[in-house]
Amino acid sequence: MLNELDDFDPHVDDDGLDATLQRVESELVSRGAHVAPCGRSSVHHRGVEMLMLLQGWQQSPMVQVAGILFAAYRSTGERPAVFSLEERELVREIVGEQAEQLVYASSSAESLPERGPDLAVLEVADAACTSGFDGAPAPWLHRASLFGASLRATASAPPVFENCTATVAPDAEAALLNAYSRAWRGGLADAGAVDALAGAAEAAPWVAEPFVVLGLHALAAQDTDRAAACSERAIALLRAWNNAWDKRLGAVEWLGIAQMLERSSRLASREHSFLAARIASALQIAAGRPEVLQARLNSLDLIGTATVEPPLPRVAASVEEEEWEGWSGFDLLPPRFAKYIAGLRDNHDSPAMPWYPDLDARTIWDVLELDIVRDLHARAADIAAECAAIDPARFESAAGIADLGPDWRIVPLVRLGSHCPSLSGLPAVADVLRRYSELRRVGSFAFVGRLAPHSDTVPRRGPSNLQVQCMFGVDVAGASGVTVDGIRERFRQRGCIVVSESAIRSDWNDSDREQVVLIVQLWHPDVTADEVTLLEGLARHARARGESVSKRAAKPAAAMLA
């Protein structure tokens, strides 16, 4: 191991890259680079931004490492130096000989395209990370395109400016900046602004955001074809840059808006006016600020999460789309649910599809994220008293319920979304549970459980990642708790722990007495109410179809018997 590390050189060894980057970041942070201002952010953040860009452009590990330390020896108006020139040996030790030379070269006051392709790539990346003080676009396209031009026909040319074959004239860039700014300022009221932006964007068609703005205006005017065409160009440019030109929003956020524009082309015609009105209203409210526009569109649930990976194949051919006029609401499904449904194409091995896509996977949850926990804590004394007062004789075996096993005895309070009679004797518990409509959903349950002394239940795992379990300690004075993916969590007296249903877990009680716990099953905190509704609808559909098939299968047998 020692030899492997000693011999590490980031430009030849991908495996060692992470270790080097960690070391570099540590060094940067220890020198205060995370608080040293650089443009709108910190020196450290700029380095990380450079790194992300260079990784997106598939540059060599050596260039990536040099990127995070770009101009680290140089102090400019924009950023302070991180290392002194006397520390070159230290930097060499951290990043290797070649990367250090590149860092040194990038620190030179005079940086020219002729000084080598690696340095040119870094200069393009550095330019792409700059912005105005508020994140608005700054003039850097001309300079970056000149550096890019020096990379023409080389393997390291970033996929921008049409693979570095084009350059941007200063006046074209200035015109683009002016038109872009005017389009945001003027909004829908300035009819000439959109035309001006269209002209400027065609003259310098190398960044995405002008096309997003044009697409939004086109959509507001119900021109979905143009909106889709603009979105296509914007998406391609965003993916090429891997960064935003207008940094008032992140690249992923711009991508989200562009993807919404793209989806709009697949809407049924009667939905166009509905969407157009909302886009127009959002543009008006935004008053020139992209971040407000994005927040507005988000609040209208129009954007969803941008899909950074290649989109799913289209569901239907154009002919079929015409036949299914009126069903284009499919495109407005929450992206996660759409992705989940797309799993039906390939669910031969796992027809139940237990894994809902793109949910944050955590074994143990921050209890404060769940509003119900606050309510349980607020009424902890009453709830604990009520649950503790339940006659132990009323507890029944938990066998067959949520795979709890024989060490648990329970009194059910909510079963399959229906409130059980026992809940009526627990007014404080009922008051809290009734506030959460999700506990009236199919599949929800809540119960008070007693865990036997000196028990350690068989490890189990819930049927999907869609739910979490909140465990409120009613009387857990002894050492007891739950082991979740190998981590032992103790039950909290009159407090909660929340564990993921999809984690492997077992309950343990090392004490001599039964431990009493209130357990409530909840939806994953990130699953929206709309998704719950859709999932329930899907479950109803599956159940109805199953019953229908069963009936049909039973008919011949009945006939034969008759």
Partner 1 sequence: MNIHRRLRGLIPIAFYRGATEIQVGWGKPLLIREMPMMGWATRGSEELVTTDLGVLFEYAETFDDAKFVGAIIHVSRCGSTALANAFKAVPDTLVLSEPDILCQLVRERAWRGADVPDDQRRELVRGFLGAVVKENSATNVVVKCSSMSTITLDQTLRYLPRVPWCFLSRAPADVIASLERIPGMWLKTQAVRDRILLMIGRESTHTSDAERSRDLYAFLLERFYVAAMEHANGDATFIDYSSFGLDTVCEVIGQTLRRSLDDSTREAIATSLQIYSKAVVRKPFVPSESIERRTGYLELDAVYDRYLRFIEDFAARRCFASVVKPSREPAPQPA
Q: Which residues bind partner 1 (CB under 8 A)?
A: 1-2, 5-6, 8, 19-20, 22-23, 25-26, 29-30, 34, 40-42, 44-45, 48-49, 93-94, 250, 360, 363-364, 366-369, 371, 377, 484-490, 492, 495, 525
Q: Least Å distance between CB 54 and partner 1?
A: 15
Q: Between 94 and 466, whose beta carbon lies closer to partner 1?
A: 94
Residue 18 C-beta: closest distance to partner 1, Å: 8
For the CA atoms of 364, 367, 369, 375, the dihedral, rounded to the nearest 10 degrees, stands at 150
Q: Which of 174, 144, 172, 139 is nearest to 158 (CA)?
A: 144
Closest CA to 51 of 123, 117, 125: 125
Nearer to partner 1, 222 or 298 (CB): 298
Q: In the bound complex, what is the minimum distance in angstroms from residue 472's beta carbon to partner 1?
A: 13
- Of the two residues 29 and 554, which places its CB atom closer to partner 1 in the complex? 29
Nearer to partner 1, 223 or 485 (CB): 485
| Pair of tokens at residue 317 | 């051919």
Give the span between the Cα atoms of 398 and 418, in whole angstroms. Answer: 18
State the Cα–Cα distance between residues 256 and 307, nearest whole angstrom: 7
Q: For the CA atoms of the chain, what is the radius of gyration?
A: 30
Shortest gap between Cβ of 91 and partner 1 (angstroms)? 12
Q: Which is nearer to partner 1, 434 or 488 (CB)?
A: 488
155: helix, coil or strand?
Answer: coil
Nearer to partner 1, 377 or 415 (CB): 377
Two tokens at 339?
């992705």
Q: How far is the CB of 502 from partner 1 (least distance, A)?
A: 14
Q: Which is nearer to partner 1, 171 or 456 (CB)?
A: 456
- Antiparallel, parallel or unpaired: β 41-42 and 364-365: unpaired
Question: Cα separation of 431 and 423, whole Å?
Answer: 10
Q: Which amino acid is at 358?
A: D
Residue 57 CB, shortest distance to partner 1, in Å, is 19
Query: What is the smallest separation between the CB atom of 13 and partner 1, expressed in angstroms?
Result: 12
How far apart CA 237 and CA 251 sit, in angstroms, is 10
Range 375-379 contact pairs with CB under 8 angstroms and sequence separation of 24 or more: 375/432, 375/435, 376/432, 376/470, 376/472, 376/496, 376/518, 377/494, 377/495, 377/496, 379/428, 379/431, 379/432
